[in-house]
Amino acid sequence: MTIIKDDDWVLKDIQEVEEEAMRVIRNSAEHNLVLAGPGAGKTELLAQKACFLIETGKCRNKKIIALSFKKDAAKNLQDRVNSRLDSKYRHKFESTTFDAFCKSIVDRFKSTIPESYRPSNDYEIIFPNNNDLVEDIKREAVGFEGLTSEELNKLQPYNFEENYIVTPYDKALEHSVDGRIRRFVWLHLLKPKSRLSFKMINFLANYIISRNQYLSNAINSTYDYAFIDEFQDTTYRQYEIFKSIFLGKKIKITAVGDTKQRIMGWAGAMHNAFDVFKKDFGIEQPNELVSNRRSLKNLINYQRMMEAFMNHADIKPDMMLIENEGSAKLLQFDESSIEGAYIALCIQQWIAEGVNERDICILLRNPAKQYTDDIISALQYLKIQCRLENEYQDLLNEAVVQLLLQMLMFVCNRKSIESWATTMELLCNIRGVSKRGDVTRLEKELSQFIKSHRVIKEEIVDYLYSLLSIFGVDKIKSYFPQYMSGNGLEYSIELLSRHLDKLDVKENTSEAIDLLLGNKTIPLMTIHKSKGLEFRKVIVVGLEPGAYFGKEEEQIENQKTVFVAFSRAIEEVLMTRCKIRNNSYGRSFKQNFNDIPLITNMITYCGIEAESYPG
């Protein structure tokens, strides 16, 4: 490996970063805590730092691991680094999610877990806050250590996992009703074929890490540096694992986040993650990035006004609107049908002006039908496709799904140089091929394999497995750590096959791929799923009490949620609210916008007054 001197190293594929960012990039000897607002280039910062550390030989014999909380964020960072590094060095950077990292620990070291709490090798992933599981527990737990139906009837799906699965052990409560319920739930989910949630996996990973010095040493001998993205979303339990792995070790941490974008309190995010990290890891002063490379100037100014309002600033920032430098408005409608029709016409106009459908996004705090149905119906009337992205995001970021979609594109003669090279690189790595002659023969084999799969004759799920046969399913499981144990690979393939079946992939393969990828489709998603993304046009639906309910602490987080939504936009933000909207039972109710003053007053503070739309 050719080592570049520190002074000779230059940024990759970009011209410049702000001075504070360059300090972080070149700091290889200490921990870093980076506070970075919307559009500051957090992903680019981490990608450049990875390139610096690898190309200057700072981790010559070890690797860098990057942990994110979302699959798409982990993939974006890996792709960014891969596009900037020579392929010979890409193996030195691993970007994964926190959940996948914990899963790999459990998969490799579960033999160290006491047998009564050890999951089976074929465990499946579940999401336990659902009614079916809770009703199952209510039935099956009767009689366990004396539990009665009356004692079990109090169980509810909401927060079931937090209250009865991953609650820390308390010996004083061991024989209480709750203690016995927790013990039954674990035993019930673990045997005979185990069912684990990611929080259970995190819980087990922490158990392993805290008791396994060999694992701690193995992590230390593998990695020199660790990156943590969106650090403000770290939960208390995740931070305990994080400390168990990294505190007191030689691995240097770079944590990046933004307190103004802490909107995952409902999921257990720490209230003071940055302060705790500074104290534990001995950081005197964080690095703060102030530039916004995403939004146009007017939108940047609006965001600074919001920040000033949220921080209770003594002096209100100046606000000077500049023509053609971004716009924002808040429209008030009498009812949701008028709101939906207006939004659809706006989108139709933007598309007519040349805006790509994927550059427009509809954001909501709550994707319930009272906020989405009228919009989707109005768009369908105008023959514009729209879909809720939440259910597709995780699937499309699965490694095996990306591989299968790439293979399907080859089947349709949609082959780019980059995609073919990526697939060949994977195939060579899995087959252990490196010599030029062997690579050429393998490329011919892949070409012939693609030709033999032009027509889908069997069941779609069987066809997908046949597409993987050239790689080998077992070898794919070994290559991608997230599939080493459990049913993750099988689950992803089954889910993909169901989607492709609905899209008639047998008759229209190319069109089905486009529809699944969301091409020519307006994305509609929850605000917390939009973090890290950007769009030319953003529509924030339902800034009203029915969506942004909650007590004082929740209202502070709601305010930050609106800020996150607003800051996704490059050019234009349209915010909406309705005087009358149906509730989840279909009954209409009138709303008083003064019930959410932290949001309404913040928008007014920015100089954005609600405009009533007559309909």
pLDDT in tens, 106-146: 998 999 998 888 999 889 888 876 788 899 999 999 999 99
**pLDDT computed for residue 576 by the predictor:** 98
CA distance 499 to 516: 7
The pairing of strands 63-68 and 93-97 is: parallel
Does CATH number 3.40.50.300 belong to domain 297-389+524-612? Answer: yes
- The average confidence (pLDDT) of the chain is 91
Tell which wins on pLDDT, 239 or 174.
239
The pairing of strands 569-582 and 588-590 is: antiparallel
- Give the pLDDT mean for 251-269: 79
Q: Which two tokens stand for residue 40?
A: 């500051």
Q: Is the pLDDT of residue 443 over 80?
A: yes
Q: Is the pLDDT of residue 44 over 70?
A: yes
Which CATH superfamily includes the segment(s) 6-103+207-289? P-loop containing nucleotide triphosphate hydrolases (3.40.50.300)
Tell which wins on pLDDT, 379 or 584.
379
pLDDT band per the 50, 70, 90 thresholds, residue 267 = low
- Does the CA dihedral 142-147-148-149 come out positive or negative? negative
List pLDDT tens digits, range 49-79: 999 999 999 998 899 999 998 888 898 899 9
Q: Is the pLDDT of residue 259 over 80?
A: no
**pLDDT computed for residue 168 by the predictor:** 61
Q: Is the pLDDT of residue 401 over 90?
A: yes
CA distance 16 to 247: 33
Task: Indicate the annotated binding residues.
Answer: 36-43
Q: Where are the strands (E) in 237-373, listed by range? A: 252-257, 287-289, 327-335, 360-364
**pLDDT computed for residue 564 by the predictor:** 93
DSSP state of 314: S
Q: Is the pLDDT of residue 262 over 70?
A: no
Say which amino acid occupies 482.
Answer: Q
- Does the CA dihedral 422-423-426-428 come out positive or negative? negative
pLDDT band per the 50, 70, 90 thresholds, residue 326 = very high
Q: Is the pLDDT of residue 370 over 70?
A: yes
Q: Is the pLDDT of residue 609 over 90?
A: yes
Report the phi/psi class of residue 586: left, alpha or beta, with left for phi > 0 and alpha for psi in -120 to 50: left
In the chain, where are the structural domains located?
A: 6-103+207-289, 127-196, 297-389+524-612, 393-517
List pLDDT tens digits, range 568-578: 999 999 999 99
**pLDDT computed for residue 264 by the predictor:** 63
Helix-helix angle 236-246:198-211, to 10 degrees: 30
Task: Indicate the annotated binding residues for ATP.
Answer: 36-43
Report the phi/psi class of residue 67: left, alpha or beta, with left for phi > 0 and alpha for psi in -120 to 50: beta
- Residues 50/89, Cβ–Cβ less than 8 Å: no
Percent of the chain with pLDDT over 90: 64
**pLDDT computed for residue 591 by the predictor:** 94
**pLDDT computed for residue 343 by the predictor:** 98
pTM: predicted TM-score of the whole model, two decimal places: 0.84
**pLDDT computed for residue 438 by the predictor:** 85
Q: Is the pLDDT of residue 274 over 70?
A: yes
List pLDDT tens digits, range 447-469: 999 999 999 999 999 999 999 99
List pLDDT tens digits, range 513-550: 999 999 999 999 999 889 889 999 999 999 999 999 88
The reply to whether 297-389+524-612 shares the fold of 6-103+207-289 is: yes
Q: Is the pLDDT of residue 423 over 70?
A: yes
